[in-house]
Amino acid sequence: MNANAQSQSSAAIAFIFAGVFAISINDMLIKQLSGGYPLHEIVFARAFIGILFGLGFVQLEGGWRILKTSQWHWHLVRGLFVVIANMTFFLALAALPLADATALFFVAPLFITLLSIPILGEKVGIMRLSAVAVGFLGVVIMQRPWADAESMQTSRVVLLLPVVAALTYALNQVMTRKLGVHSKASALAIYIQGTFLVVSIGFFIVAGDGRFATDGSAPSMQFLLRAWVWPDTGDFWVFLGLGLNAAVIGYCLSQAYRIADVATVAPFEYIGLPLAVFWGLVIFGDLPQWEVWIGIALILGSGLFVFLRERQKARASLRKLPLRNG
């Protein structure tokens, strides 16, 4: 790896650390708000404030001209993937402990590894594919297939929501790598926040008065369908923090996946797992059950193996390159 590539990889890792830390704060704040506000209201406020902050990044990276793109349809698809990923994960947060939802979501790097084969043309060997299978075994264990419906604290449909979020998030990040060749990170972030605004306004038009919400529905459905309400004074600061976080998350993740290989960046997202356990314990008093600990171990172990194997293969390929004659 030459000095420039090494520098870009180091910068990408720093961006992913900052982005994942902001995500952990974001998830904790949304879980706190999930009992009193509808999801689409939170998403609207988060995206609106996030765009205001994000426009500052746009000015720093070249001004309004960088928002112009000829690939608007692919940016729209990418934005929809992010919306689906976020909303399915946030719905899971309303019904699951923070660590449980986050652990299930962290099959995303494994999905990224699989998707990089058909979309990016990357080669993945049998050892890494085996590691991916082990990671998905962790997901199965966390689904507790041996338990009956009465002993489950939540439905398996809810347990699948973070997995759906992981898949659509992985699709988004693989597309970020392709689109980032022609677009700045701040522009990529603005496109996403704009998609969030459009979708949340659509939800408000259809369900903003709470007409579809029922008292007996599951927590996730109540979170999705309850009526918009004016935020309490103290919660204004939470919404402001969510908006700032949205700008930081969108920029940092877009920049990380724009300037470095997917396989280099994705494994460092696992810092989110211990952060989720920490916030879940400190803020909500939750500790994962044994199935979740096993799932975390399998998902984390397989993800790190995929990363280490990728690094090993990259170094081996470099050693095989012929030396140039000076």
Total structural domains within the chain? 1
Q: Is residue 2 domain-resident?
A: no
Distances (CA, A) of 114 to 7, 14, 132, 185, 208: 26, 24, 8, 24, 38
Nearest to 86 by CA among 281, 238, 253: 253
Q: Please, are residues 239 and 48 in contact by the beta-carbon 8 Å criterion?
A: no
Tokens at residue 102, please? 């986050």
Please tell me the chain's helix, strand, coil percentages from 3-state DSSP, rounded to the nearest 5: 75, 0, 25
Q: Is residue 3 domain-resident?
A: no
Q: Is residue 217 domain-resident?
A: yes
Q: Is residue 324 domain-resident?
A: no
The C-alpha atoms of residue 226 and residue 73 are separated, in whole angstroms, by: 32
Q: Please, are residues 255 and 294 in contact by the beta-carbon 8 Å criterion?
A: no
First CA to last CA across the chain, in angstroms?
19
Q: What is the pLDDT along the chain (326 residues), one digit of tens a residue?
A: 556 666 777 888 889 999 999 989 988 888 888 888 999 999 999 889 888 888 888 888 888 888 887 778 788 888 888 889 988 998 898 888 888 888 888 888 788 878 877 876 777 778 888 888 898 898 888 877 777 656 666 777 888 899 999 999 888 877 776 666 667 778 888 888 889 899 999 989 998 888 887 766 677 888 888 899 988 888 888 898 888 888 888 788 878 877 877 667 777 888 888 888 898 888 888 888 888 899 889 988 887 787 777 667 666 655 554 444 43
Q: Write down the residue that tokens 């973070």 correspond to.
A: 162
Q: Is residue 245 domain-resident?
A: yes
Q: Is residue 185 domain-resident?
A: yes
Q: Is residue 229 domain-resident?
A: yes
Give the structural domain span for 257. 11-318
Q: Is residue 96 domain-resident?
A: yes
